[in-house]
Each structure stands twice: as C-alpha cells, then as structure tokens.
Amino acid sequence: MRVTTYAYPWDLARIGVERALQEIVSCGIDALDLASTYHPIDTLSPRDGSPRVFTNARGAVYFPARTERYGRIQPSVAAPEICAVWPEVAKHATKLDLEISAWTITLYQPWIVDAHPECARTLPSGDPIGSGVCPASDDFREYFAALCADIVDQFAVSMIRLEGLAAPTYDYGWLRPRVLVEVSPLAGELLAICFCVSCCRRGIDEGLDVEALRQLVNDAIVAEIEDPAGTPERAANLAADAELHAFLVQHERASVELARIAVSRLDAATAPRLSTMVWTPYSQLLDDHTRSDLQDELALAVDQLVGVSVHDAQRLRSSSALSERPVEFGVLLAPLHSPATAAGAERIERGLRGAAELGASEISLYNYGLLREKDVRDLVTAVRAPL
C-alpha cells in the first residue's frame, strides 16, 4: 500500500524543509501532497515547540507562480518565504526518493471572486457567492490551465491532486453564517444550482429556457422554506423536469471538462497523473443512473478516484468506465480529531475498511503539520498493518 501525506508549505517553512522531509520518509511515507494553492484557512499546528497558528482569509497560490504565463486572472501569490518551500522540497525530495504531488484547490478561491466577481458561482436569486468560482467560467478555465502547466513545468510532480473539482453546496466556505430558517436538503440542492453568466449562456446555447428554469427553482426554494417538511412529489417533479435535468447535467459536466483542462497544456507523454474525489450536491435532483454516468465521464478524465468511506468505495467500484481504461483508487484518511480520541479512531477504522473494500492502492494521510509526529507514525502503522 502506497502512503502519502498532505502538507502545507507554511508548516514545512517553519519546521525546516530538509528536516521535515527526512521525518516524513522515516515514518514510512512514500509521497508528499504539497499544497500549491489553498483556500481560506485558520490552522493550529502542534509541531516544533508551542502550537502555532497560520491564517489566510481569502486563499492564495503557494508556489512561485510566474505571472507572465497568465492572462486576465493573475495569481494571488503568497509570501516569498512560503513560496520558496516548493523549490526546496523539489531539491531535497529527489535525494530522499520522495515523490511530490501538487495538492491543488480548484474552485474554493475567494481571492479570484474578489478580483473577478463575474467568475463567482451565483445563486438562483442572482446573488453571487463570495467563496468560490464556477467551473464553467472561461476566464477561470484559462487561468487554471495556465496554473497547472506552470506547476508541472517548474517541478517534477508525479500527480496533480485536484480538491473541490465539483460544485460544492451553496453555503460551502461561509465563515460566519447566519441562517435562521430551516433549509431542507432539497432547498439546499436547489440553492446550489449556479446561474452565473457562464452557466446561463451554456444553458441558452443548449436551447434551454434559463429564465423559466430560474423561476421554477426559486419558486421551489420558497415553497421548501415555507414548508421544510416538503412533499415527496415536489422533489420527484423537479427531478423529472427535462430542462432542469439538462441544466444540472451541464453543471456537472463543467467540472469534468475542468479536469481535462488541467492537463490540456501538458505533454501527454510526460504529464503527471490526475486525481480527484467524486462528489455531487444534487443527490435528490439527479437519479442514480445519471450520477453513475457522470461518474463514468469523470473516471475517463482522470487517473485516480478518491473516496473517504465504505459508502464511497461501493459507489466508485460501480463505475462501468473501469473497463475502458485503468483508474486507480485512493482513500483519504482524515481523522478530523486527534487519532487518540474515540471519534478520530472510529473515522480511521472506517477509512481503512473503505480502502480494503475499494481495493485502494493508495492512502493519503491528512495532515502532516496538523498532527503530532507520534500521530503520523501511528497512522502509518495502522495503514501498514494487515487487515
């Protein structure tokens, strides 16, 4: 079983790159998933003396991006001392036989929305969401293609690990939310439908009555807010609406297209592998058959699909695309609590069961700088232990 660990450049900068990489290798870890971009974050790291906090309110690019390679959207690059970690890692990783993956946050980049509000995902009401961009945006696609090519051209990465490739829930990334009404699961799915300029244009080009769809969706949201218990018929009627179905499928395909765009400027013979998780916010509005077909499309666009649970394993294994091209399976092992706690231990056990059921060839630990060295070693031991 191949074991990797996610890591933040700021943690490696504080600990010292060479020292951190030596520790990672000594733990029995095969590859480093190093953040090349990241979303807003407040972290507490227990490493290197007293706990340290790192904060970034709007996200950033964390490698030394070459701005002349980009177009309208210019990368918001982090402090030089943090970006300097990438070339240092590349230098020392080669000597240690440690592979590097570019852990790349995709849509949850509020700094892009700040500078280019037209790229923002937009609620059915017409209100833009300040936390993320839409995968259908042409300007964002141009930027993202340049970003991935820039990383690969500078550093010998073996994988581009795309996080957050698919559209998230409507409220994903809200820092201090104020929601004082009950938002039913169906209302949440409806709120997640993007009506940005790009999505509306794509719908119109496909012959859809986008304004009628917007009214349909908004009316259903109002009805769900007024009656959170809802009715099964409401969800069924919406799921059966042919134009809404086509609009949602178009949304999902925008993310599959973005996966292809990530490697569009790379030499196919030398391009790194592409990895992503499978996710949809539309579990009620899209039927199982449609979601399976979309998963197959994604499986044909990437080299690795990642799950986090037994349920994910069962879903990923169902992909008929597996007969058309080889796709690896990976599992993200993220305790989210200290592995020493009951909640952390239970989540680890669930992830390991999912990995076994999936036949995963790789487990990725989350996260080197946020856990104690002992925790990381214990996690690797758990992964390596026979089931």
Task: Give residue-wise pLDDT tens across range 277-286.
Answer: 988 899 999 9
> Could you give the CA distance from residue 11 to residue 23 in angstroms, rounded to a whole number?
13
> Could you give the CA distance from residue 365 to residue 334 in angstroms, rounded to a whole number?
6
Residue 209 has pLDDT above 80, yes or no: yes
User: What integer pLDDT is reported at residue 183 of this predicted model?
Assistant: 95
Specify whether the CB–CB gap between 126 and 195 falls below 8 A. yes
> Could you give the CA distance from residue 34 to residue 209 in angstroms, rounded to a whole number?
43
User: What integer pLDDT is reported at residue 350 of this predicted model?
Assistant: 84
Residues 6+ apart with CB under 8 A from 164: 39, 105, 106, 107, 108, 132
β-strands 159-163, 99-105 pairing: parallel
User: What integer pLDDT is reported at residue 334 of this predicted model?
Assistant: 87
DSSP category for residue 190: H
The pLDDT tens digits for 85-104 are 999 999 999 999 999 999 99
The pLDDT tens digits for 171-190 are 999 989 999 999 999 999 99
User: What integer pLDDT is reported at residue 160 of this predicted model?
Assistant: 98
The pLDDT tens digits for 15-57 are 999 999 999 999 999 999 999 999 999 999 999 888 999 999 9
User: What integer pLDDT is reported at residue 49 of this predicted model?
Assistant: 85
> Could you give the CA distance from residue 42 to residue 58 in angstroms, rounded to a whole number?
11
Q: Which of 233, 249, 241 is nearest to 292 (CA)?
A: 249
Specify whether the CB–CB gap between 348 and 321 falls below 8 A. no
Specify whether the CB–CB gap between 10 and 370 falls below 8 A. no
The residue among 242 and 280 whose pLDDT is bigger is: 242
Specify whether the CB–CB gap between 315 and 307 falls below 8 A. yes
The H or E element spanning position 33 is: strand 31-35
Q: What angle do CA 279, 173, 144 make, to 5 degrees?
A: 65
Q: Which residues pair with 5 in a beta bridge?
A: 32, 365
Specify whether the CB–CB gap between 144 and 162 falls below 8 A. no
Q: At residue 271, what is the residue type?
A: A
Residue 163 has pLDDT above 80, yes or no: yes
Domain range list for the chain: 2-169+254-384
Specify whether the CB–CB gap between 131 and 142 falls below 8 A. no
> Could you give the CA distance from residue 44 to residue 57 in angstroms, rounded to a whole number?
15
β-strands 273-277, 159-163 pairing: parallel
Q: And the tokens for 328?
A: 């690896």
Question: Across all residues in the chain, what is the average pLDDT?
Answer: 93
The H or E element spanning position 237 is: helix 232-240
Q: And the tokens for 276?
A: 């992503």
The pLDDT tens digits for 286-344 are 998 999 899 899 999 999 999 876 666 667 777 777 667 778 899 999 887 778 788 88
User: What integer pLDDT is reported at residue 9 of this predicted model?
Assistant: 98
> Could you give the CA distance from residue 354 to residue 343 in angstroms, rounded to a whole number?
17
Class of domain 2-169+254-384: alpha beta
How far from each other are the two terminal CA atoms of the chain, in whole angstroms? 12
The H or E element spanning position 307 is: strand 304-307
User: What integer pLDDT is reported at residue 310 of this predicted model?
Assistant: 62
Q: And the tokens for 141?
A: 């696609």
Residue 6 has pLDDT above 80, yes or no: yes
> Could you give the CA distance from residue 273 to residue 78 in angstroms, rounded to a whole number?
26
Residue 387 has pLDDT above 70, yes or no: no
Specify whether the CB–CB gap between 103 and 34 falls below 8 A. yes
Q: Any idea which residue has 């099964």 for tokens? A: 232
Structure confidence at residue 123 as a pLDDT band (50, 70, 90): very high
DSSP category for residue 161: E
User: What integer pLDDT is reported at residue 309 of this predicted model?
Assistant: 66
